[in-house]
Structure 1
Amino acid sequence: MSEARDTIRIDKWLWQARFFKSRSIAAEIVGAGRVRVDGVVVTKPAREVGAGHVLTFAQERQVRVVRILACGTRRGPAPEAQGLYDDLSPPVVAEPANPRYDGGGRPTGKDRRDMMAARDRTDPNPLE
């Protein structure tokens, strides 16, 4: 078995901490310059990181900010992976699932029936 190290490749750490499903995806994200280490953009997947470094990267629709606590030796289960970092990300504000559009646009069936009923009440014979 391998011993715990002081530093590890950034793509390998992101994969072990379960931020990305595969190491090649993690390497691709780092290579595209979408990861920052202590505020500096990193473009090399082989960049060594260790305990105390702060990583900033986008994951889905959220910006993740994590402080590395340990390098780890394997990609273990989720509870083990969560022990490798301290999440400093700002809290996620939940958007409403389906906000209703207020006004404008095509009327609904109920709106049309209400308009027809109102028209019928005001003018019983519109053609005369």
Structure 2
Amino acid sequence: MAGTSLRIDKLLWHLRLSKSRSLAQALIGEGHVRLNGNRVEKPSLEVKVGDTITLPRGQGALAIRLLSIPPRRGPAPEAQACYDEI
């Protein structure tokens, strides 16, 4: 069963928005990830359902709204069901 919050680095990995947790931590450390419009400074920041996350994707940016906390890093369709692109 999924919890009510999750570390943002782990979340990006679970949602398959990062290939590994260490790459997610590097992205956060470089200041490229925003949570509800504010720059994320720590990979340990907890995110919850309803939060908006923005991160770089190619030449642009990807903004998502979290619909549910994934319990694991599952297949892509399972991960994509946990968020909506904005």
Normalized against structure 2, the TM-score is what? 0.95
Distance in 2 separating the partners of 1:80 and 1:61: 26
| Alignment partner of 1:22 out of 20, 31, 34 | 20
Q: Which structure's residues are more often strand, by fraction?
A: 2
For residue 13 of structure 1, what is the aligned residue in structure 2?
11
Aligned amino acid, residue 33 of structure 1: G
* CA RMSD of superposed structures (Å): 0.8
Structure with max Cα Rg: 1
* Identity among equivalent pairs (%): 44
- Structure 1 residue 31: Cα displacement: 1.6
- Structure 1 residue 61: Cα displacement: 1.7
* Matched positions, count: 86
- Structure 1 residue 15: Cα displacement: 0.6
For residue 84 of structure 1, what is the aligned residue in structure 2?
82
Normalized against structure 1, the TM-score is what? 0.65
- Structure 1 residue 82: Cα displacement: 0.3
SS of aligned partner of 1:30: helix
Give ranges in structure 2 of 5+ residues lacking alignment.
none
| Alignment partner of 1:37 out of 35, 38, 43 | 35
